[in-house]
Each structure stands twice: as structure tokens, then as C-alpha cells.
Amino acid sequence: MIRVQQEDFDVGLELRKLTENNHSIGGVASFLGLVRDIASDENISAMTLEHYPGMTEKLLEEIEAEAHQRWELDASLIIHRYGRMEPGEQIVLVVTCSKHRKDAFESCEFLMDYLKTKAPFWKLEETSKGGKWVDARDSDDDAASRWHEE
């Protein structure tokens, strides 16, 4: 399941909803991304996430489907927020549920790596010097590319 939304989310509630009626699940892995207050040595007062409505949902559905092909998953969830957020706020949640932990751990990392390099989101940071668009990082491309080799 994927959701692209402006509102915050409740991690505990999301995990419960995903697992409560599925007792074949033996392990749940999750990743929660938060807004930091410092990036590139600058203080950040807030961040605005822009996205491409339509393509974002399509991309997230594609990478989720790929994760289900590559690993044995009983359920999964991707929530990504857009709009303005302040340090400490939750940006993204990826949850993968499987019978065994290996599939859950690996697929969760795969989903985050792919999301970071493919999903059409852009971060604008607010600093004392004004707004600054965040540059993409090579390390994110490297992280995503290792999944091709297996």
C-alpha cells in the first residue's frame, strides 16, 4: 500500500493496521525518515517537499511491486509526505512485513534506496540565508545501484 499525503502519520497505528489481521507475519521492518535541523553545516528552520502528483504514486507503486517480486512479503506500506515540515517532523515511513526477518530487512532497505533515487520529490530547505534546493547525492545513487548486481 502506498500513500502520498500532506498530513502527519502515527507509526504505531500504521504498524498495527498492517499486521493485526495477518498472522502469517513473523517480522516487521520499518524505516522512519525525519527532518533534521542541520544540513551542510547550516541551520534549517523548515523544509518544503515538492512532488509530481500522479507520477509519485505511480513510481512508489512500481517499486513496491518490485519488492514483492524479489522478496517474500506478506504486507508493505510506504507513506511519503509533501508540503512544509519543521525539524523533528516525520517525512517518510517504509514498512515491510514477512514471515522471516531477512526478507523484511532487505526489502525495507531496497524500498528506501529506490525511493530516494527515483520518486519525484524535491526538498527546499529554509535557512537564515533563504531557501535552498537540496542537491542529489552520489551516495544515494550508489546505494540504489547495488541492488542491480544481485
CA distance 7 to 19: 22
CB of 4 to other proteins, least distance (A): 10
Count of CB atoms situated within 10 Å of the CB of 118? 14
- Contact with other proteins (CB under 8 A) among 22, 136, 145, 146: 136
- Indicate whether 18 belongs to the interface with other proteins (CB under 8 A): no
- Indicate whether 50 belongs to the interface with other proteins (CB under 8 A): yes
- Can you say whether the dihedral through the CA atoms of 112, 77, 119, 51 is positive or negative? negative
- Indicate whether 147 belongs to the interface with other proteins (CB under 8 A): no
Nearer to other proteins, 87 or 120 (CB): 120
- Indicate whether 119 belongs to the interface with other proteins (CB under 8 A): yes
- Grid cell, residue 94, equals 517504509
Alpha helices in 20-131 (DSSP H): 55-70, 101-118
- Grid cell, residue 24, equals 502469517
Which residues lie near other proteins (CB under 8 A)? 33, 49-52, 54-55, 58, 80, 91-92, 112, 115-124, 133-136, 140
